[in-house]
Amino acid sequence: MNKNDQAQPAISLRGVSKRYGDLQALSDVSFDIKKGEFFGLLGPNGAGKSTLISALAGLLKVNDGSISILGADVEKDYRQARLNLGVVPQEIVMDPFFTVRETLQFQSGYFGLRNNGAWIDELLDQLGLSDKADTNMRKLSGGMKRRVLIAQALVHKPQVLVLDEPTAGVDVELRQSMWRFVRRLHREGHTIVLTTHYLEEAEELCDRIAIINKGQLLALETKEDLLARGLGSKLLVKAKTPIKHIPDEYQDRIARHQGKEIELTIHRDSDSVMDILDNLRAASIDIDYVSVLSDSLEDVFVRMTGDQEVSQIEGSEVQV
């Protein structure tokens, strides 16, 4: 591989915009995803993630801008772009009349692949589907159907894999086995793009993270830089007796107040923890224990997007 190949991004978006009537689903979005990266794409409902993924997959045409997958333009060189990309959709889509193996064989045929049996067998094995290979799709559980979706996305051996809510509604065992397989793909050089409403997954797995909201790119940083932006931490204070009154100046900083404990949002760059504790003591709070809690990705996400219902992120997004 020459230097130009190494420098070529896995995914490149330049000035991508998409409108649905008066709704601006994407607005001048530009960024690159590097080869071999584990990349997180986060945003609240209606942020534009589904539109972006549909555009990547060539399922819709953008109004402005361009998108390429490993150098192949999704419109001008759509055949190669589709060969380079595998997408695991959020919704379960299946043909109820085929077995698991037949489903994967037909998917191979869509890409013009013959004699693909060995790779299909490996996918069935790695995703725990070998004993279901000859089972009709309609007889599978929801978790098993989601495994088949992953196998379908990988059947043509794409170098770039998009996972759109891959663990939504699946049990813990499936989630763990699926991530083991995805980590293996990543180690072998595949580029992984993940959207998820389980923000702890993105925090654990992703190298870089993009946050979009209302069709605009809010942040594009490494996970470490995103968490260290000075957006804040929490100060956990435990008192010896139940806390009945918190000074007015801290009312808008209360993240949690339960019995003897309070958590206050603080800004690492500007707040003095000692001054806050002195003010709490002056308010007759008998402090027993203090700890500064680092921001999680969820904390950063909520502050940047203003979305308080993090547990519902992505759950109902269909159009944009």
Say if residue 221 is in the same domain as residue 242: no
Say if residue 99 is in the same domain as residue 245: no
Q: Tell me which of 206, 227, 248 is where a domain ends.
A: 227
Say if residue 166 is in the same domain as residue 249: no
Write out pLDDT tens, residues 143-167. Answer: 888 889 999 999 999 999 999 988 7
Q: What is the mean pLDDT of the chain?
A: 86
Q: Kindly give, in sequence order, each residue whose CB lies less than 8 Å from that of residue 279, ignoring residues fewer than 6 positions away.
A: 247, 249, 250
Q: Tell me which of 171, 192, 227 is where a domain ends.
A: 227
Could you tell me which of 295, 265, 293, 297 has the C-alpha nearest to residue 197? Answer: 297
Write out pLDDT tens, residues 227-275. Answer: 766 555 788 899 999 999 999 999 988 988 999 999 998 876 677 888 8
- 121 pLDDT band (50/70/90 cuts)? very high
The strand pair at 191-195 and 160-164 is best described as: parallel
Say if residue 186 is in the same domain as residue 285: no
Residue 306, in any domain of the structure: no
What residue type is assigned to position 256 of the chain?
A: R
pLDDT surpassing 80 at residue 2: no
pLDDT of residue 269: 63
Q: Tell me which of 190, 205, 227 is where a domain ends.
A: 227
Residue 299, in any domain of the structure: no
Residue 251, number of CB atoms within 10 A of its CB: 9
Say if residue 133 is in the same domain as residue 18: yes
Domain with residue 191: its CATH number is 3.40.50.300
End-to-end CA distance of the chain: 37
Domain that holds residue 271: 233-294
Output Rg (C-alpha) for the chain, integer angstroms.
23
Residue 249, in any domain of the structure: yes
Say if residue 207 is in the same domain as residue 259: no
Give me the DSSP letters along 172-223. HHHHHHHHHHHHHHHHTT-EEEEE-S-HHHHHHH-SEEEEEETTEEEEEEEH
Residue 223, in any domain of the structure: yes
Say if residue 252 is in the same domain as residue 123: no
Assign 271 to helix, strand or coil.
Answer: coil
Could you tell me which of 196, 214, 215 has the C-alpha nearest to residue 297? Answer: 196
Q: Global pTM?
A: 0.75
Say if residue 89 is in the same domain as residue 187: yes
| C-alpha 282: how far from chain center | 44
Write out pLDDT tens, residues 52-95. Answer: 999 999 999 999 999 999 999 999 999 999 999 999 988 888 88
Write out pLDDT tens, residues 181-238. Answer: 899 999 999 999 999 877 888 888 999 999 998 999 988 988 888 776 655 578 889 9
Contact 303, 232 (CB under 8 A): yes
Residue 32, in any domain of the structure: yes
The count of domains in the chain is 2
- Please give the helix or strand (H or E) that residue 88 lies within, else none: strand 85-88
Say if residue 221 is in the same domain as residue 271: no
Phi and psi for 161 in degrees, rounded to 5? -125, 125
Say if residue 220 is in the same domain as residue 245: no
pLDDT of residue 227: 72
Residue 247, in any domain of the structure: yes
